[in-house]
Amino acid sequence: MLLRRLLRQLVPYRRQLGLCFFVDALRMPLALLIPLPLKLAVDSVAGSRPLPPMLRDLLPSGMRTSVGLLAVLSVLLVTIALLTQLQSVVSTALRTRLGERLVLELRAQLFGHAQRLSLAYHDARGTADANYRIQTDALAIQYITVEGVLPAITAIFTLAGMVVVTSRIDAELAAVALVIMPVLFVLLTSWRTRLRRHSREVKRQESLALSVVQEVLTSLRVVKAFGQEAREEERFVDRAREGADARVRLAVVQAVYGMFVGVSVAAGMAAALFIGIEHVHSGALTLGELLLVMGYLTQLYEPIRTTSAQAGSMQSYLASVERVLTLLGQPQDVIERTDAQPLQRARGAVAFRGVSFGYGEDPRILQGVSFDVGAGGRIGISGMSGAGKTTLVNLLTRFFDPTDGQILLDGVDLRDYRLHDLRAQFAIVLQDPVLFATTIAENIAYARPAARHSEIVAAAVAAGAHAFIESLPMGYNTQVGERGVRLSGGERQRIALARAFLKDAPMLILDEPTSAVDVETEAAILASMERLMHGRTAFMVTHRPSALRECEAILRVERGRVTRLANNGREGGGRLRGDYGETPPFIPDRFKHLAVATAYGERRVTSISIGRGNSGRRTTGASSSETPQGLEEEIERERRKWRKVEGIGI
């Protein structure tokens, strides 16, 4: 099964493989010629046997003397060696080129597939595991092909040729030479499982050690701040020691296997030598013919011994290929339908219809969420940590698909759109803005790589970033360092906003965009966000009341359900409608039967709003055909108490 999947990877390179095999096949006649000068020298120069008729006819009469014949044989020996080395050079170049192309193609496949896998997969496995498979395990396809498949095929043909030639000289010696083949096959079969098991463990331990290095180096500020360098070093050493122990165990197993292979080959050579000497004494063989046969057997056993010994390391490479193919075989959680429709530019009307979601077998994070947002609406999303706020917006961009229900964009299920077109409708600004280790200009242009410099500058101006960028010695060509470490948090956030301005998408997701900045920086960022949200459907996940003031309606997410907190009364498309799994927490207990809650199957209160009305004054209230007297006043009192506890209010 594993080898079949590996061969499928090699199919596109069948021509290159054929050329490599052809060049390697040239080694067979050269290998047959290598012992010939020695045989002729022993029998016809040192001994008295005549030259073979074909060779005698080719030589001038003056070269048939002992000195002349020795000179011819010496030239022949050097010529064969030169041709062998030239064949080796060409073979090495072709093999290396083929191997590098295989690795490059496989790494590209792995990297592309790893990007398409869900965030949940990478959260569970860690990025170091995928990194190790792409960078290290992918090399195995080169070793297996260049050092395994091609040499094995060449060895088989060389073996066949030498058996034929040896049989013509002495059939009994040829039979003795082949006796060890079943022995080597039994050895390989019996040791293969053990070698593969130890190889898998080595790969696993090396991946774990790499994950410690990556985790510590990407969190080095925290490590230094808490003075945990010694602890992290000890953790790495423990992981590395486990890997070293695993490699030692694998090396011992390979060495024992190699010992059995070497002893088997030596036994075959000893048996052939013993029988050969007996045949020389009986006159069935000349000494030169025995040397020729032993030379053939040496060349015959060398690839057999090498290939058999390499079978140990080959199991390690096969374990790597197994890990690579496992990654390629991971199913994508979000799959584009074959009949998906294109989407140029969305209006931005969003509707959740009974949406539930959970990661794998975990309990559901969102349950039965339903609401509508008009095009151009500004929606704030608030709630306790872990309530499902970020999951809500991740479903919008199809980082995940709902377990139940559907999400509509402009009346069409998200799953009916082409995935690339759908994600092109969103600009995203995260709590921890992600910058790449390149220039400021290139980081802003990440949204539109083909953007002109004037457009990049205009986006930076709109985001309030132009002034600080121009104050830097290199301006827009300033290198920001890994993850933007050379910039402050506020500067990184403004670069992220500039990227969103440049993308000019119709929909905007802001995930805690001001949570890590000071009050003064927050005010400047909020002013930029106000401009950015204008004319766009915006979802802002935040705990900051100052940021929520920019929203026209607020959703409260609690234990996977969505509760309407407020309609702020701002003009725009953000009027929020929906069914809610819980009663808003500021409704007094004795009036909860009037609240908007699907759990009661009753909808007596038609709207509840908290925030600023169109006049700019703070307003709160409820309207209903059955609203009791005093409800508005008590709601206001309870809302104030709740605001102090929750830290959320307008």
pLDDT in tens, 126-165: 777 788 888 888 888 888 888 777 777 777 777 777 777 7
Higher-confidence residue of 443 and 389: namely 443
150-169 helix and 14-25 helix, angle to the nearest 10 degrees: 30
Say what the pLDDT of residue 397 is: 87
Share of the chain above pLDDT 70, in %: 80
Using 50, 70 and 90 to split pLDDT, how confident is the model at 577?
very low
Hey, what domains does the chain have and what are their CATH numbers?
A: 13-328 (1.20.1560.10), 350-425+507-646 (3.40.50.300), 431-504 (3.40.50.300)
Q: Is the pLDDT of residue 567 over 70?
A: no
The residue to which tokens 């915006």 are assigned: 538
pLDDT in tens, 448-495: 888 899 989 988 888 888 888 988 888 999 898 877 778 887 888 888
287-328 helix and 66-116 helix, angle to the nearest 10 degrees: 10
- Report the distance separating Cα 27 and Cα 33, nearest Å: 10
Question: Between vectors from CA 218 to CA 215 and to CA 219, what angle results, nearest 5°?
Answer: 80
* Strands laid side by side in the 576-579 sheet: 412-413, 404-409, 350-357, 366-373, 576-579
Contacts 24+ apart (CB under 8 A), 403-407: 403/356, 403/357, 403/358, 403/364, 404/354, 404/355, 404/356, 404/357, 405/352, 405/353, 405/354, 405/355, 405/356, 405/368, 405/369, 405/370, 406/353, 406/354, 406/355, 407/350, 407/351, 407/352, 407/353, 407/355
pLDDT in tens, 36-45: 777 777 777 7
Residue at 2: amino acid letter: L
Say what the pLDDT of residue 408 is: 93
Higher-confidence residue of 574 and 377: namely 377
Q: Is the pLDDT of residue 631 over 60?
A: no
Q: Which of 609-613, 615-619, 627-631 has the lowest mean pLDDT?
A: 609-613
Using 50, 70 and 90 to split pLDDT, how confident is the model at 308?
low
- Report the distance separating Cα 327 and Cα 142, nearest Å: 18
pLDDT in tens, 378-425: 888 887 777 778 888 888 888 888 888 999 999 999 999 998 899 889
Higher-confidence residue of 331 and 471: namely 471
Q: Which residues contact 456 (CB under 8 A, 6 or more apart)?
A: 441, 444, 445, 476, 498, 502
Say what the pLDDT of residue 341 is: 92
The rounded mean pLDDT for the chain is: 75
Higher-confidence residue of 233 and 626: namely 233
pTM given for the model? 0.62
pLDDT in tens, 249-307: 888 887 888 788 788 888 888 888 888 888 888 887 777 777 777 777 777 666 666 66
Using 50, 70 and 90 to split pLDDT, how confident is the model at 363?
low
Q: Is the pLDDT of residue 345 over 50?
A: yes
Q: Give me 347's structure tokens.
A: 């209006």
Inter-residue contact 430 to 493 (CB < 8 Å): no
Using 50, 70 and 90 to split pLDDT, how confident is the model at 595?
very low
Q: Which residues contact 133 (CB under 8 A, 6 or more apart)?
A: 110, 207, 323, 324, 327
Our CA dihedral for 630, 634, 637, 642, rounded to 10 degrees, sits at: -160
Inter-residue contact 29 to 83 (CB < 8 Å): no
Say what the pLDDT of residue 362 is: 63
Report, as an integer, the average pLDDT of 575-596. Answer: 40
Say what the pLDDT of residue 563 is: 67
Q: How far is CA 379 from the centre of its chain?
A: 35
